[in-house]
Amino acid sequence: MGASGLPIIARLIDNQLKNTAVRDRVKIGCLFVLPYFGFSPPAGEDPDGIYARSEQFLLNTEAALRYYVTQGQEIFDAVYVLGNENFSRVQFSIGKNSQRNQPHFIELYAGLAARHFLLTPPKDKGAVVLISRENKDMLTWQDIPDTDEVKQKLVNATRFAYVWLAEITPELTHAKTQGADRFGRLAPWLTRFYRTNNNQTNLPDFSEAKEQDTIQIINRWCQEYLRWLAAIHQCDSERVALFNADIFSNLDKQLKGEEQNNLVIGDNRDKTRKAQDTPKRLKEKLNPNQIEPPNQGTVGLAKAVYLELSKLWETN
């Protein structure tokens, strides 16, 4: 939504909530994302044509902020303002299918703003929330709000996505082509979550369409998450120093499981802890009996991988 349209939509929502007498029970927040990218129309483009012009972004945003100062404080319970001093250059596009901007770390901050609004309801109406970073040319963990908790969540998600694609997916693929019974003898952890013979009737069959579909869903999520994470580390004129994104920047190549120890920038674990954090040890510790249901099949396996990886990191 354009910056100039946001206050108008908020006013309509505010009026509707007041008309139904529930406004006092609903908090309204907004996030103004100031312009952080620019582009130039290609040569030959109709100068009078209808398309976005990046040189007008700041003017439109200024108008929206002026509206907030004069009237918006009566509508919004909290306002978050995000921007970046360094502009990223993007390819011009009229719109529709051809418009696909590269991910930017501003998106991460936008998500964290939404998290803050949901977890920390504003006490005073019209509160404005701002955040800054220590170095305008670099983003580190210290620049992330609620650093300890947010870092833990991001590290857990990243390590899970990486290890799932590097270690779990290849073995699940082998099990599908070779047969779960045969492969289960080479990968004992497989038999803890799937039925590989008639003696494990309480477990789901590995070959069931539901289990195979779930594997593909998790695969796609892991791939898209890592692509997004790698992309936000490649912003123009800035260094994002959260993860060693080069390790997973090319998902067309087979990821190396042994790199799970090198994913996080600022990993302060001692050598003993890091030495225990290996794919082999992870697979040995996968146990459905140690997690809450659902703890079987592909869902149970994914939960077990996530939780064990979290335990290996949580004492960092």
Q: Tell me whether residue 139 is in a domain.
A: no
Domain with 223, as residue range(s), is 147-314
Record the pTM.
0.87
198 and 236, same domain (yes or no): yes
285 and 186, same domain (yes or no): yes
99 and 167, same domain (yes or no): no
More confident residue, 2 or 171: 171
What does the pLDDT look like over 184-234, one tens digit per residue?
A: 777 889 999 998 776 677 899 999 999 999 999 999 999 999 999 999 999
What does the pLDDT look like over 129-183, one tens digit per residue?
A: 777 788 888 999 999 999 999 999 999 999 999 999 999 999 999 999 988 777 7
Rounded Cα–Cα distance for residues 44 and 47 (Å): 8
164 and 298, same domain (yes or no): yes
13 and 126, same domain (yes or no): yes
Rounded Cα–Cα distance for residues 146 and 202 (Å): 42
